[in-house]
Amino acid sequence: MHTSIEYLKGVGPQKAEILKSELNIFIYKDLIQLYPFKYIDKSKITGIRDIEVDSPNVQLRGRLTDIKAIGAKQAKRLSAILIDETGALELIWFKNYQYIFKSLKEGGIYTVYGKVTEFNGKLNISHPEIKLYEPADDSKGLVFEPVYPLTEKLKSRFMDSRYILSLVNQVMKSPQFDVEEYIPESVTKPLKLINRKAAIYHIHLPSSEKAQQAAVRRIKFDEMFTLAMRSEKSRVVRLLEKKGILMGQPGKLFNRFFHEHLKFELTDAQKRVIREIKEDVKSGKQMNRLLQGDVGSGKTIVALFCMLMSIDNGYQACMMAPTEILATQHYLTLKDLMEGLPVNLELLTGSTSKKKRVEILEALKEGTIHILIGTHALIEGDVEFRSLGLSVIDEQHRFGVAQRAKLWNKTEHKKPHVLVMTATPIPRTLAMTIHGELDVSVIDELPKDRKPVKTVHRVERLRAEVMEFLRQQVTLGRQVYIVYPLIEESKKLELNDLMNGYDTVTDFFPVPKYQISLLHGRLKPDIKDFEMKRFKNGITNIMISTTVIEVGVNVPNASVMLIENANRFGLSQLHQLRGRVGRGAEQSYCILMTRDEMNFASKKRIRTMCKTNNGFEISQADLELRGPGDVLGTRQSGLPDFKLLDLVTDDEIIDLAKRAAAFILKNDPNLALPENQALLNYLKQHQEDHFWGNVS
């Protein structure tokens, strides 16, 4: 199965190179794992007189006559007449007709497949699939003909789906055709899964629709099962080998903050998550928990309680954010919340001066810094903690697995507890799939005093009306965000860029009567901070910005978010931007501005945003539109490139695979039993060999 593809009949060196470059097919194994994306039902022959014009593709069989080239020069084409017992129709080719002409046999019986159209009152099929009929065809019983993913280059070389199928057939008929069964019968039998070899055969050459569905089910299960085994093994190793820092009950800082500094009541969801984390850190095992919460649900407060718990038990804590703006916002927020508490809090980013950095690193080693907030700067080699007890990672999907690992390897002995947070909610089943090694907590309610943000869609011709509404809000003492997708003009996308937008806004809101801030990623950090402070302190009425304000900016007095060219943003990004308003007691608004014309996907995104404020519903719609790989970031999440499994719709198979993995490893954590040897060998070949070593 590892033989080079060029040794198959009909391939050779030149076509092998095309298969490699276009479809990543290098060896026989790659070929049989190129699965069809649909099937053509060829279970019946239709009579010509029974054809309905413009109906779906039909299969005909008849005698081919009157084969000839007609027309002249540019209009030249090949024509033939197919006759059966019920009637006749024309077959016609406009391209490659000389090659096709040589292959056709006058008077031969052919099986023809294609879409029938009508021209000048006559039925015809343009560029049909055509094959010389042989009596043996009837005994082959090919009901569903597979259709494979192809490229234009393959089609131009006559390397079509039939060509791919002929190669697959060669491999499957070869004595060397072998597909190892690695899942034990204790799993396949109760779940009624067909064996792998049968699944590969019937995915390419299904004898019936039922056989094809059974093959798809087994292959989907396999794709999820290998991921589930890895996730479950990570969990087993963590619970058996990675001893966590043992923390007792919350102490003075935790209770003092709760009773004296908390200015609002925690939601039931926040209380539940804090209880879950308390149980984790008291267990003696390393906590490794994912905290999902919608925009504004209060994840930062939960993280602060956890960090205070760590300090109460004699340990330090840190929080890593993906951007300087977000890290600075966390630092300022926590500093404000803990004012008066004996907690030393510091900020470390790429912009920290050398002198200040040296001071921070020394204090960190001595243990006089209790909480360190920062960006990627936290994982640099010279950052050493005296006793790190808790690592909090915000917007975790923006960090790679290796980056996250560096943070919790900052201690030599027991690993710090880990809390990873995300404001990109995804369905719980999907979260447990992608982050299988993590326990999942969800804050699924907003603070009680929050009013849902009213979201509306407006088109360009209503701009004057929109600007008048903004003026009314500013007159009431509120503040406004106006967000643009680009800094510089793009003729291709025809977007209003940030600078042109600034000019437009100042036409409606002349300076100095109105104060306007401008914020984008190219500004120096000190200028960004200056502009953000002006807006936060209420000095400026309007903040014109790019998406740098997407996460972390907290201005309760801001009541309107106007998003220009909203159709150019993804659903998750729109939801994050909307989350910048609605943080105060007043009613807030999100206005989605677009041109009149939008494509289907853009219209669906805008409708979804106007319909719901629920992040989980928005995430579900985003997954359906774009797919999990795009939404979650395949590289960052460790998500494999599934060929058949759909993480959005295949809930049942996902759940079965995870249960099967848990069942096997619960009874045999080292896969030492004879019936699990094939599984162990397979996993060692397809995943890191050392990962499947013994656990004590």
Q: Are 474 and 602 within one domain?
A: yes
CB 90 within 8 A of CB 136: no
Q: Are 334 and 392 within one domain?
A: yes
Of 96, 61, 62, 97, the closest CA to residue 79 belongs to: 97
pLDDT value for 518:
86
pLDDT at residue 97 greater than cutoff 80: no
Q: Are 411 and 477 within one domain?
A: no
Average pLDDT over residues 223-248: 82
For residue range 266-280, list pLDDT tens digits in order.
999 999 999 999 999
Q: Are 370 and 462 within one domain?
A: no
Neighbours of 79 (CB within 10 A): 16
Q: What is the DSSP string of 34-70?
A: ---SEEEE-S----GGG--TTPSPEEEEEEEEEEEEE
pLDDT at residue 172 greater than cutoff 70: yes
Q: Which of 398-402, 453-457, 669-673 has the lowest mean pLDDT?
A: 398-402
Percentage with pLDDT > 70 across the chain: 88
pLDDT value for 91:
93
Confidence of residue 686 (pLDDT cuts 50, 70, 90): confident
Q: Are 461 and 383 within one domain?
A: no
Whether 25 is in a domain gets the answer no
Q: Are 384 and 502 within one domain?
A: no
Confidence of residue 122 (pLDDT cuts 50, 70, 90): confident
Average pLDDT over residues 620-646: 66
Label residue 515 exposed, middle or buried (CB < 10 Å: 0-12, 13-18, 19+).
middle
Average pLDDT over residues 552-573: 86
Confidence of residue 159 (pLDDT cuts 50, 70, 90): confident
pLDDT value for 635:
42
Task: Look at 590 and 239; give whichever has higher pLDDT.
Answer: 590
Whether 192 is in a domain gets the answer no
Confidence of residue 139 (pLDDT cuts 50, 70, 90): low
Average pLDDT over residues 468-484: 94
Tokens of 303: 């993280």
Per-chain mean pLDDT for the chain:
85
Domain boundary among 120, 141, 162: 141
Whether 166 is in a domain gets the answer no
Q: Are 363 and 473 within one domain?
A: no
Whether 220 is in a domain gets the answer no
CB 604 within 8 A of CB 625: yes
**CATH number of domain containing 58:** 2.40.50.140
Q: Are 482 and 589 within one domain?
A: yes
Whether 225 is in a domain gets the answer no
Q: Are 356 and 495 within one domain?
A: no
Q: Are 327 and 402 within one domain?
A: yes
Average pLDDT over residues 92-111: 87
Domain boundary among 612, 627, 643: 612
For residue range 107-118, list pLDDT tens digits in order.
999 999 888 888
pLDDT value for 634:
45
Percentage with pLDDT > 90 across the chain: 38
**CATH number of domain containing 269:** 3.40.50.300
Q: Are 404 and 460 within one domain?
A: no
For the four alpha carbons of 430, 432, 438 and 440, in that order, the dihedral sign comes to positive
pLDDT value for 62:
94
Query: 466 lies in which domain range?
Result: 454-612
Whether 345 is in a domain gets the answer yes
For residue range 40-71, list pLDDT tens digits in order.
877 788 899 988 776 678 889 999 999 988 88
Give CA–CA dist 480/581, Å, rounded.
9
Whether 134 is in a domain gets the answer yes
Confidence of residue 213 (pLDDT cuts 50, 70, 90): very high
pLDDT at residue 491 greater than cutoff 50: no
pLDDT at residue 613 greater than cutoff 70: yes
Whether 195 is in a domain gets the answer no
Q: Are 408 and 303 within one domain?
A: yes
Domain boundary among 141, 161, 178: 141
Task: Look at 396 and 656; give whichever has higher pLDDT.
Answer: 656
pLDDT at residue 475 greater than cutoff 80: yes
What is the tally of structural domains in the chain? 3
